[in-house]
Structure 1
Amino acid sequence: MLHRLGEVGVIEKPVPEPGPNDVVVRTTAALVCTTDVHVMRGVIPVEPDVTLGHEAVGVVHALGSAIEGLVKGQRVAAAGITPCFQCDSCQRGFSSQCHGRMLGGAQFTTQRDGTLAQYFLVNNAEANLAPIPDELSDHQALYATDMLSTGFVAAEHAELELGETVAIFAQGAVGLSATIGCRLLGAGLIIAVESVPARQDLARRFGADLIVDHTQCDPVERILQLTDGQGVDAAIEALGAPETWEAAFRVTKPGGRISNVGYHGEVHEPLKIPLEPFGYGMSDKQVYGGFNRGGRGWLRRIFRLMETGKVDPTPMTTHEFSFTEIERAFRMMETKEDGIIKPLIHFDSDLDPGMEAVVDTN
């Protein structure tokens, strides 16, 4: 069945075969990401009929001939990026920029079929697959694959020291994860900028001390008031909009840090840096843009935080669907209908093998 750009549908494809260093995973659960919606809209160019998705967990179905340390039937998770961990970029610590390509580690959908399928292939699997601890549900483990991973990287790039102040613009799933990360890193004051009441409640639950509703006030003025005119030590942009990008510079004090994790692919003009808050280039403010880190070790660290009860991201799941309802899940993610934040997709073992969620780009 054909699907036009902007329409997601389900088709059948062959179950992938692993190369020597690959593993094929049978999917048990997945999440739909706003990035998948960007692909659906054509913002991120992909090949025709590519399978969507990059947040999934499952069990090992087939192993490449060179794979060691993994066994069939083992519960595993792969991060939303699957770098090679062998190239110069990976060796330098920039795994998301694998092979020196912008976001080259983001292979699902952009370089190969993604994870919204009954089976998906993971490259360099010994480095990219992490066994899921028995103490964690698939639901919990899913959040390590992208949302927590990306939000935690944003928090780390804010370089917070104990007791410092931080403003986080937007409390979608990544912004909420950044709020969790800032709390874990010991921020003394976390200010979340968000207008949706349900997301405000989650932000408080996850560690935000104060909420600024940008529909009720000028968020820059309010944040400056809350910090006695000084501004915050760090700001995190988690929306991907020119307004929040500029606001992050305006609320950050001299010598502070701006951590960008929002995707600006739908912005059709260059982002502007407000010169006066930037000290006309001499404010000692640092700007860092980053993404999901990926890899077995990184996933294990996030799993550990959940195992010990320090993190429970599952309240971000607002809706649940079966795989056969995937089109409805995408429509709701595009329109943000019914206050959706993250939809959990359940994979029924009775489904026909080879079913995959695709968008036709013709």
Structure 2
Amino acid sequence: MPFDDRSSWRDKAMKAFVMKEIGSVGFIEKPVPEPGPADAIVRTTTALICTSDTHTVRGGIGPRENLTLGHEAVGIVHTVGSDVARLRPGDRVLSGAITPDWGDPASQNGFPSQSGGPLGGFKFANSKDGVFAEYFHVNDADANLAVIPDDVADEAAVHCADMLSTGFMGAEKGNIPIGGTVAILAQGPVGLMATAGARLRGAGLIIGVESVAQRQVLARRYGADEVVDFTSVDVVERILELTSGEGVDTAIEALGADITFQTAVKITKPGGTVSVVGYFGDGDFVRIPRVEWGVGMADKTINTGLCPGGRLRMQRLLRLLRAGRVDPTPMTTHTFAFDDMERAFEVSDKKLEDVVKVLIRFE
């Protein structure tokens, strides 16, 4: 299929927003990618900036040169490889932030996000160019792209790529019993979706931990019964008070910091689960508080995971949007055109203007 009616220079080149080197970002031109037999090329229409993009620029995955950033996007299928059967040019599609190799042994063993080695399903803006470009490449397209229903807007669907998938994973891996008690530490976009996921999983008491007023409001909107402000009270004491001294069945760490991880262990009751969805971008170690861990014998389970990807996962999340079970769009506080990406990235990176999530429009 030929390129669309954009200017002729884009038949050979495209605009991409890249990490030029650690600490430096900007626009450059790159060739439009070509698909392999099982792949697809997608013309980007809408994307989101993630905090992990800023971790990458600071060196979280090591040095990179002119790496296209971004891993949350929807778009229009531009062209497909010869072996692609489910997709056609013109389809409006959602790609998961994680695009596993589904034939890999890790995938066959039930851990597709780890295909190709630890965190190997994390390809966009890591081992290959990401989605902050006019076109992006998707491997194993039949298994990694989901067609978006006509009645689901791009602005909602794009949140499924990472925020819903990761946040809900926190609830899923938290082993939440129906009517159980849950605390979600940090109410950024992932924590907010973990809160929504806890409600969907049937939690009876949901406690959000957050200091920012706007995020406290969103936490209650997504299902938090109580919000604990760590700047004004002792989080451990308050959560033990709310749970009659028992602690919670499930603590979800959604920040990626040593202090919140330790707090999660402390507030989890014996036999409970600590579910980690935070990105630990700094330091060499995280610590487990020895006594609250029952000196190793408190039957506290620590589960971790990388954002689940794949067509089936994306289809399920889109189904929740269609059914009105969750609406992620209130998390979008800022919208920029792709040409204004440098300012958009600054707002997201420096947490300016009470930002929660920044959406990028490409057309």
TM-score, scaled to structure 2:
0.94
Among candidates 42, 49, 64, match of residue 32 of structure 1: 49
- For residue 262 of structure 2, what is the aligned residue in structure 1? 246
- For residue 7 of structure 2, what is the aligned residue in structure 1? none
1:214 aligns with 2:230: yes
- For residue 87 of structure 1, what is the aligned residue in structure 2? 104
* Residue 109 of structure 1: how far off its partner (Å): 1.3
SS in 2 for 1:13: strand
Distance 1:69 1:36, change over 3 A: same
SS in 2 for 1:104: coil
Separation in structure 1 between the aligned mates of residue 284 and residue 76 of structure 2, nearest angstrom: 43
* Residue 201 of structure 1: how far off its partner (Å): 0.1
- For residue 235 of structure 1, what is the aligned residue in structure 2? 251
Runs (4 or more) in structure 1 with deviation over 6 Å come to none
SS in 2 for 1:201: helix
* Residue 97 of structure 1: how far off its partner (Å): 0.5
* Residue 330 of structure 1: how far off its partner (Å): 1.0
- Kindly indicate whether the alpha-carbon contact (under 8 Å) linking 1:260 and 1:287 is maintained by their aligned counterparts in 2: yes
Structure 2, unmatched stretches of 5+, are: 1-17
- Kindly indicate whether the alpha-carbon contact (under 8 Å) linking 2:98 and 2:308 is maintained by their aligned counterparts in 1: yes
- Kindly indicate whether the alpha-carbon contact (under 8 Å) linking 1:83 and 1:128 is maintained by their aligned counterparts in 2: yes
Cα deviation 1:70-95 (Å, max 9, x = unaligned): 11111001100100111110011111
1:17 aligns with 2:56: no
* Residue 44 of structure 1: how far off its partner (Å): 1.8
1:278 aligns with 2:293: yes
1:196 aligns with 2:235: no
- For residue 146 of structure 2, what is the aligned residue in structure 1? 130
- For residue 340 of structure 1, what is the aligned residue in structure 2? 355
Among candidates 316, 325, 330, match of residue 301 of structure 1: 316
Distance 1:137 1:281, change over 3 A: same
After TM superposition, list the pairs within 5 Å mapping 1:134-149 onto structure 2: 134-149=150-165
Task: Give the number of aligned pairs.
Answer: 346
Q: Cα RMSD over matched residues?
A: 1.2
Cα deviation 1:77-123 (Å, max 9, x = unaligned): 11001001111100111111112x11100011111110000000000
Separation in structure 1 between the aligned mates of residue 20 and residue 148 of structure 2, nearest angstrom: 35
Separation in structure 1 between the aligned mates of residue 305 and residue 56 of structure 2, nearest angstrom: 20
Distance 1:27 1:46, change over 3 A: farther
Letter in 2 for 1:346: R
Distance 1:2 1:165, change over 3 A: closer
* Residue 47 of structure 1: how far off its partner (Å): 2.9
- For residue 342 of structure 2, what is the aligned residue in structure 1? 327
- Kindly indicate whether the alpha-carbon contact (under 8 Å) linking 1:96 and 1:104 is maintained by their aligned counterparts in 2: yes
After TM superposition, list the pairs within 5 Å mapping 1:260-271 onto structure 2: 260-266=276-282, 268-271=283-286
TM-score, scaled to structure 1:
0.94
- Kindly indicate whether the alpha-carbon contact (under 8 Å) linking 2:335 and 2:358 is maintained by their aligned counterparts in 1: yes
SS in 2 for 1:338: coil
SS in 2 for 1:257: strand
* Residue 46 of structure 1: how far off its partner (Å): 4.6
Letter in 1 for 2:82: S
Structure 1, unmatched stretches of 5+, are: 349-362
1:8 aligns with 2:25: yes
Letter in 2 for 1:287: I
Identical positions, percent: 53
Distance 1:163 1:2, change over 3 A: closer
Separation in structure 1 between the aligned mates of residue 19 and residue 149 of structure 2, nearest angstrom: 40
Letter in 2 for 1:82: T
Which structure's relative contact order is higher, taking Cα pairs within 8 Å and 6+ residues apart? 1
* Residue 5 of structure 1: how far off its partner (Å): 2.9
Among candidates 120, 123, 130, match of residue 107 of structure 1: 123
Separation in structure 1 between the aligned mates of residue 293 and residue 112 of structure 2, nearest angstrom: 29
- Kindly indicate whether the alpha-carbon contact (under 8 Å) linking 1:46 and 1:110 is maintained by their aligned counterparts in 2: no
Distance 1:122 1:2, change over 3 A: closer
* Residue 35 of structure 1: how far off its partner (Å): 0.7
SS in 2 for 1:287: strand
Separation in structure 1 between the aligned mates of residue 344 and residue 118 of structure 2, nearest angstrom: 29
Distance 1:224 1:344, change over 3 A: same
- For residue 66 of structure 1, what is the aligned residue in structure 2? 83
Separation in structure 2 between the aligned mates of residue 43 and residue 70 of structure 1, nearest angstrom: 34
- For residue 9 of structure 2, what is the aligned residue in structure 1? none
